[in-house]
């Protein structure tokens, strides 16, 4: 059973439909016990980093996520769902600046990611006439062909992106694929039972379905 975690921040039903087209049995849930009992878990995500972390806290889902991952069960983070795995995001600091908040730096830093992976989430710079958010089709440059998600996937395959931020792992060995958008950013990561994709496989046609098929078969 694959638990698709519903915390109000993702394309839940699109992900579910895509996984079920692969023959997977799924459950959409925000119940910690159902997440803990699942064989695999998927954390989708669309929206703001801080809002997502607040929803996970409010719904008491953080301990269930940690337990699922620490028990070596398969986990997939999609887009914001992958970013949340990291220690912190530049989105937090920038939102405080935009609001001209009187909060001190230490108060701003209270809002963190899950901290399961070492590293930060960074914002694309507005340079070289590149639009932010990065939206549309772009290519995957495979860096680690041993990554099970990328099995039988051709290098430079196209997938669909919609994001302004990207993860920057401290350990480069986590990077399974990158994508060029002014810089080479991490678009697929892999560490043991943890997988993450910055794009939306459920919107990436045949390439995305192949990646989800590989996930289901793990």
Which of 197, 192, 175, 173 minimizes the C-alpha distance to 70? 192
Residue 175's pLDDT is: 98
DSSP-derived pairing of the beta strands 2-5 and 26-29: parallel
- Consecutive H or E run containing 186: strand 184-191
24 CB contacts (<8 Å, ≥6 apart)?
Answer: 2, 216
The number of beta carbons lying within 10 Å of the beta carbon of residue 65 is 23
Residues 162/116, Cβ–Cβ less than 8 Å: no
pTM of the predicted model as reported, rounded to 2 decimal places: 0.91
Catalytic residue set: 79, 200, 202
Residue 97's pLDDT is: 46
The pLDDT tens digits for 91-121 are 865 544 444 444 444 444 435 899 999 999 9
Residues 128/180, Cβ–Cβ less than 8 Å: no
Residue 128's pLDDT is: 77
Residue 99's pLDDT is: 45
Q: Give the tokens for residue 79.
A: 């887009």
Residue 111's pLDDT is: 55
Expressed as residue numbers, the domain containing 212 is 2-216
Residues 160/136, Cβ–Cβ less than 8 Å: yes
Residue 92's pLDDT is: 67
pLDDT band at 9 (very low <50, low <70, confident <90, very high): confident
Q: How many domains does the chain have?
A: 1
Please report, for the domain that includes residue 176, its CATH number.
Answer: 3.40.50.880
DSSP 108: H
The pLDDT tens digits for 30-53 are 999 999 999 999 999 888 999 999
Separation of alpha carbons 107 and 127, rounded Å: 31
Please give the mean pLDDT across all residues of the chain.
91
Mean pLDDT of 164-193: 97
The pLDDT tens digits for 113-161 are 999 999 999 999 887 788 999 999 999 999 999 999 999 999 999 999 9
Query: Quick check: 189 pLDDT over 90?
Result: yes
Separation of alpha carbons 140 and 186, rounded Å: 9
């Amino acid at each position: 059973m694959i638990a698709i975690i519903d915390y109000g921040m993702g394309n839940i039903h699109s992900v579910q439909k895509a996984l079920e087209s692969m023959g997977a049995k799924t459950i959409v849930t925000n119940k910690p016990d159902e997440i803990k009992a699942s064989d695999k878990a998927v954390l989708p995500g669309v929206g703001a980093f801080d809002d997502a972390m607040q929803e996970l806290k409010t719904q008491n889902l953080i301990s269930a996520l940690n337990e699922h991952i620490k028990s070596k069960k398969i986990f997939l983070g999609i887009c914001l769902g992958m970013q949340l795995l990291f220690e912190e995001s530049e989105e937090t600091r920038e939102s405080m600046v935009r609001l001209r908040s009187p909060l001190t730096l230490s108060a701003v830093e209270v809002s963190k990611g899950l901290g399961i992976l070492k590293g930060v989430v960074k914002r694309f710079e507005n340079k070289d006439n590149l639009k932010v958010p990065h939206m549309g089709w772009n290519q995957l440059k495979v860096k680690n062909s041993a990554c099970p998600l990328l099995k039988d996937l051709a290098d430079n395959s196209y997938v669909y992106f919609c994001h302004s931020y990207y993860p920057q792992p401290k350990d480069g060995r986590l990077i399974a694929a990158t994508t060029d958008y002014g810089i080479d950013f991490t678009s697929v990561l892999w560490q043991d039972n943890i997988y993450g994709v910055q794009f939306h496989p459920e919107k990436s046609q045949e390439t995305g379905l192949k990646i989800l098929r590989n996930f289901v078969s793990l």
